[in-house]
Amino acid sequence: MDPFAHLPDLRDRLTPAAESPVRGTPEALARWDERARDQGLPASWRLSDRQLEDTRRALLSRRVPSQDLWVFGYGSLMWDPGIHFAELRRAHLAGWQRRFSYRTILGRGTPERPALTLALEPADGHCSGLAFRIAAADVEVESAMLWRREMLRNGYCPTLLPLATPQGEVIALVFASNPAHHDHVGELPLAEAARIIAGASGAVGSNRDYLAQVAAQLDALGIEDRYITDLLERVRRLAGD
């Protein structure tokens, strides 16, 4: 099956896994560790390799080993999943909303000026995004790649939740917010979130570009998210656009 059979227009809008700067290979992890050292962070800036593996296996133990694994993308996964996938679908996750509620000091931020990144927060409505199916034979390798990317600082609560897709319901891996984490800031007022995003930048780019990429991919998918569009408008006004 063509992975893009359901969404052929996205074929040129997703970064191939082999070209992804955030694919969690051991080499990429070594680069991220070096970047953290350069910023003066201690070795404990992230979970150890053993902790990462333990949390990954704890999640995977809740599924049948012979099954494919679905993954929900609501932020940067929507344009740079960093994994090899066998199928791509539109998806809706009930009871959650995307919010810039997690502070990050690497990537698009620094310890001196942290950036904000997206997490899923409980809500009455739903969050629309993409569902990626990893073939059962590839789950072990690809989930490890994803885990190193998403769970380095234990900032999310990985869980398995039902997604509605045009082709039917699936159970998917979802990286929800972790309110107990010290970098979880909750839903900030739009003015405060816009001020932080407008001024933060790091080794992989600006926080503003991240927000703009989210907005652009949602627009390409025909997904309306007033929170994202209102936030981007505020950031642009601050920048004098």
Active site residues: 150
Give 206's contacts (C-beta < 8 A, 6+ positions apart): 108, 200
Residue type, 137: A
DSSP, collapsed to helix, strand or coil, labels residue 86 as coil
CA dist., res. 60 & res. 69, Å (int): 9
Q: Fill in the DSSP letter of residue 235.
A: H
Query: Residue 132: which residues within 8 A CB-CB, separation 6 or more?
Result: 70, 71, 73, 77, 81, 83, 85, 87, 88
H or E segment at 93? strand 87-104
